[in-house]
Amino acid sequence: MIIFYDKTGKIVGTIDGRIHDEAQLKMWIGEGTERIVCQWEQNESGEYEPSIQKEIFTQLDSGERKPQDFKVNPQTKELELL
Amino acid sequence: MANYGLKISKPGYDVSSASDSELVYSSKFDTLKVFSSGSGSITVPNPMAEQTVTITHNLGYRPAFMFYTQIFDVFSGSVTSGYYMSPYTDPVGGDGSIMPYVSTTTLKIRYGAVHAPAGSVINYKYFIFYNKAI
């Protein structure tokens, strides 16, 4: 998943998916926005898991939580629950 | 010419003799291929003004797309829980339309200046396909 946020950390858009190819990495949402990229990677057991903030991105992937439940901390570039 | 491809029939039909309408998939026909999908939201500014969401795809051609959005229902006075397929035109009038349009590099969605009151949070969902629209 790719998450785009404004200067205040408000999420303005996302690109869904676990693995993003080069073409999707060239995509952008909004103007003057920043982004977080979470790619899913294989762990030592061969299972796929998010590359960052595993618990949160697993919940986003399953639909248990929605991007609107979060904002981005512009300093740490991490998702935080609203 | 060789006759080959992939077909999947509906339950109860022999794939070797099923008609096209008895198939759930056939490689004989083109299909929509998703390039990307996602979601987001806008917050209507105060004072109210038009807003444009820009999604850069950089495909180099105008791709087919679908765009769904919540709207502000003037009759109930609240943002709908359902998502409306756009373009959407407010029946009350004014600059209340929601218009998605695509170029060779971007999908843009213009929210009219009076589509919802200031402070309203409107969620949207989009699909961009590899298929060419034009």
CB A17 within 8 A of CB A24: yes
What tens digit of pLDDT does each residue of B19-45 get?
Answer: 999 999 999 999 999 999 999 999 999
What is the model's pTM?
0.88
Which residues of chain B lie closer than 8 angstroms to A28, CB-CB? 54-56
Q: What's the one-letter identity of residue B19?
A: S
Q: Tell if the CB–CB gap between B58 and A10 is shorter than 8 Å.
A: no
Choose among B43, B53, B57: nearest Cβ to A27.
B57
- CB-based contact A26 B37, cutoff 8 Å: no
Q: Are A39 and A17 in contact (CB under 8 A)?
A: no
Could A29 and B58 be called an inter-chain contact, meaning their C-beta atoms sit closer than 8 Å?
no
pLDDT, tens digit, for every residue of B39-60?
A: 999 999 999 999 999 999 999 9
CB within 8 Å: B42 and A12: yes
Residue range B63-120, pLDDT digits in tens: 999 999 999 998 899 999 999 999 988 887 789 999 999 999 999 999 999 999 999 9
Query: How many other C-beta atoms are found inside a 10 Å radius of the C-beta of residue A75?
Result: 7
Q: Which DSSP symbol is given to B77?
A: T
Measured CA to CA, the distance from residue A7 to residue A60 in angstroms comes to 22
